Amino acid sequence: MTPTVQRRVIGAIVAIVVVVTCVLLGRWQWHRHEDRSARVDQVLAAYEQDPVALTELISDPAAPLAPALEWRPVEVTGKFGAPIIKIRNRPVDGQPGFHIAQPFYFDSGTQAVLVNRGFITARGELEIDFPAASTGNVQLAAHLRPAESADTRDAPSGQGFTFNPQQLLPDIPNLVTGAYLVASSEQPPAPGEITPLPPPDTDLGSHFSYALQWWFFAGGAVVAFFLLMRREDQHEGTHPVRKKTPSRAEAEEDALIAAWEEQQ
């Protein structure tokens, strides 16, 4: 195999590896885009529906929340009660602070549900004015969210890391454990220190553009390979291979051999 052929084989192998890698990475980003797009479609379809009574959507308090019900608007009447729990490491719009988790007891007295009442800024943990439990019935409008996984980290007293009803409120009977609520409005209004949370993020992200970039790189690798091969052909055409000039000793040896052959 000549050096030229060797270079072309190596170049072809490198180009194939680059193309396959870029195509696979592009497909991965494309699948992420499809997953994100389906997720956004589900959120938008659920979020804009008319609110219904929570009991119409959740009949079994221990059952996991169905994916189609996530972000569904609901209404419930009852009272907020103790304990009030600060959920850590949940900044909003870059502001440090806490989400306020609190149990909400249905006016029927048969069930309770964990509610994320909103965000309260942290001016220092000891300076936060905690909202008091409600003394009268509250008309709560909220959106359904699936219960988050329990967190094994140790949190300070009165604090937590995730909205897991069983972990935060283990002593409350008839608690809805497969879901929790994100409050959107309360009547009477919530204490002024609590800021309602923004709507869910429906940005599709950059996965689609990343997929196009990886596929563009794959095409670029193919073009680069053929350009290099063409440049090498042009280089060889303008620089023909020169025949090796024999040395003086080789020339004398050839002459002696030729003279001997003539004498035979």
Q: How far apart are CA 59 and CA 179, in angstroms?
A: 12
Asked whether residue 129 falls in the same domain as residue 172, the answer is yes
Asked whether residue 82 falls in the same domain as residue 40, the answer is no
Task: Specify if 60 maps to a domain.
Answer: no
Choice between 73 and 110, residue whose per-residue pLDDT is larger: 73
Question: pLDDT per residue over 11-37, tens digit each?
Answer: 888 888 989 999 999 999 989 888 888
Question: Average pLDDT, whole number, for the chain?
Answer: 82
Asked whether residue 151 falls in the same domain as residue 102, the answer is yes
Residue finishing a domain among 121, 155, 187: 187
Asked whether residue 182 falls in the same domain as residue 149, the answer is yes
Instruction: State the total domains in the chain.
Output: 2
Q: How far apart are CA 184 and CA 195, in angstroms?
A: 10
Least confident of 12-21, 31-40, 194-203, 231-240: 231-240
Q: The whole model's pTM is what?
A: 0.69
Indicate if the pLDDT at residue 261 is higher than 70: no
| 90 burial level (CB within 10 Å; 0-12, 13-18, 19+) | middle
Hey, which residues does 251 pair with through a beta bridge? none
Q: What residue type is assigned to position 51 of the chain?
A: P
Task: Specify if 256 maps to a domain.
Answer: no
pLDDT of amino acid 1: 65
Give the residue numbers spanning the domain of 179. Answer: 72-187
pLDDT band at 179 (very low <50, low <70, confident <90, very high): very high
